[in-house]
Amino acid sequence: AAGVIQSPRHLIKEKRETATLKCYPIPRHDTVYWYQQGPGQDPQFLISFYEKMQSDKGSIPDRFSAQQFSDYHSELNMSSLELGDSALYFCASSAAGTSGVADTQYFGPGTRLTVL
């Protein structure tokens, strides 16, 4: 079965540079979520989109922005990168609709961002 696709899988950037992470949800899924997982930490929710509109917001820094496009893929844009942004970034998708019950989230393999 098709899974969530994330690109790139690995990314190395310098401090103060920008980075763009991409996420392609499972076909027919209308909701995308972004999570950040620092070294030795648990995943932390950043932001979600349903039908191209921002739906829920977590602890996403102001330097980060995200959007969902008409084909439902999503991009996380990160500017003025800091050393502390080094982490695994997971994207998840679901066929959430407006129901809180059937919104099982399916996670991608993650993008490992290293900021030097």
Alpha-carbon distance of 33 to 15, in angstroms, equals 25
The nearest distance, CB 89 to another protein, in angstroms, is 10
Q: Which stretch binds another protein (CB under 8 A): 8-16, 18-26, 72-80, 104-112?
A: 104-112
Residues 1, 40, 62, 98: which binds another protein (CB under 8 A)? 98
Alpha-carbon distance of 1 to 38, in angstroms, equals 29
Classified as helix, coil or strand, 83 is helix
Q: Which stretch binds another protein (CB under 8 A): 9-17, 19-27, 79-87, 91-99?
A: 91-99
Which backbone phi and psi does 29 adopt, to 5 degrees? Answer: -85, 135
The nearest distance, CB 111 to another protein, in angstroms, is 11
